[in-house]
Amino acid sequence: MNIEIQTIGDIQVIALAGDVDANTAPKVQQEILPLALPQSKILLNLTNVPYMSSAGLRMLLSLYRQTTAKQGQLVLVGLGQDIRRTMAVTGFLNFFTTCDSLELGLTVFKRENH
Amino acid sequence: MMGEALQVVGVLESLEAIAQYVKGAAKAAQLDPAQAYNLRLAVDEIATNIITHGYEDAGLTGEIVLWATCTPETLTIHLEDEGKAYNPHAWQAEVTPELCQQPPEQRPLGGLGVYLAMRSVDQFRYERVGDRNHTEFVIFRNPS
């Protein structure tokens, strides 16, 4: 599992690469939950995540709760068909903001003071 | 039996080897990509439960043995462990389709794995044989 974090404007872009299972999800969660600060804008790029189990879904739910509790925003981009199916079956697609590409994802964050 | 069996230690680090084994069997049985993904997901979720609840939470250590059998109609992954006896059908009751419609602030974090596993294969069987759990995951090949 590889985790890359960069900042584009006021958006924190987190790119994951590798399978997210019960073995790797705790590491991902430990790295990215602290990024959910008040009003933070977080884009999670899953383009290079071919597999995600329920451990990954729990990690996403924790991140969602953290960002929402702190009036932040979370956008997921690059969901593969398989992960999308898993998120649909569990109802997760209903509440996450998702975009097909990184470029589109960067445009959906709400602008402040304008 | 199809190919060699796989024997791994019942720890989370073994999940990758388990996944590779299931992917190899799915490829040999020529499952389509979505079926292969679902089979891997089901085995991964149950193996995770065996490791965390059947072994670690119970203060036990042991191994997990996997093997595959194939007929013209089905591919079956067999999983055997010496952890605590479990009842996956009781786990299943923890998460329901209705629960999946609940807002994210209210839904529980647990139980999703078994819910997904049961929905990802065509047949799921569990049996306690002596001091071992025997779990089977069946996928129908080439569904029309």
Instruction: Please state, rounded to an integer, the average pLDDT across all residues of chain A.
Output: 94
Indicate which CATH number applies to the domain containing B18.
3.30.565.10
Residue A96 has pLDDT above 50, yes or no: yes
> B143 at the A interface (CB within 8 A)?
no
**Dihedral angle over CA of A22, A24, A26, A30, nearest 10:** -170
Check CB contact under 8 Å for A54 and B19.
no
The rounded percent of chain A whose pLDDT value lies above 90 is 95
The string of pLDDT tens digits covering residues B17-75 is 999 999 999 999 999 999 999 999 999 999 999 999 999 999 999 999 999 999 999 99
In a mutational test of the B interface, the residue from A33, A49, A54, A70 whose CB has the highest number of chain B CBs within 10 Å is: A54
pTM here is 0.93
Note the ipTM here.
0.93
Residue A111 has pLDDT above 70, yes or no: no
The CB-based long-range contact list for A93-99 (8 Å cut-off, 24+ gap) reads A94/B101, A95/A64, A95/B103, A95/B104, A96/A60, A96/A64, A97/A73, A99/A75
- The pair of structure tokens assigned to B13 is 């680090």
> How much is the pLDDT for B91?
65
The string of pLDDT tens digits covering residues A25-70 is 999 999 999 999 999 999 999 999 999 999 999 999 999 999 999 9
Q: In chain A, count of helices (H) and strands (E)?
A: 4, 5
Domain that holds residue B100: 2-140
Query: How many structural domains are present in chain B?
Result: 1
In a mutational test of the A interface, the residue from B23, B32, B37 whose CB has the highest number of chain A CBs within 10 Å is: B37
Contact list in A for residue B49 (CB cut-off 8 A) is none
Asked if residue B46 lies in contact with residue B19, where contact means CB atoms within 8 angstroms, the answer is no
pLDDT classification of A114: cutoffs 50, 70, 90: very low
User: What average pLDDT score do residues A101-111 get?
Assistant: 88
Residue B15 has pLDDT above 80, yes or no: yes
- The pair of structure tokens assigned to B71 is 């007929």
> How much is the pLDDT for B51?
96
Contact list in B for residue A25 (CB cut-off 8 A) is none
Neighbours of A25 (CB within 10 A): 23
> At residue B38, what is the residue type?
N
Q: Parse chain A into domains and list their residue ranges.
A: 2-107
Check CB contact under 8 Å for A90 and B34.
no
Q: What is the CATH class of A2-107?
A: alpha beta
Distance CA B75, CA A12 (A): 44
The string of pLDDT tens digits covering residues B86-99 is 877 766 666 777 77
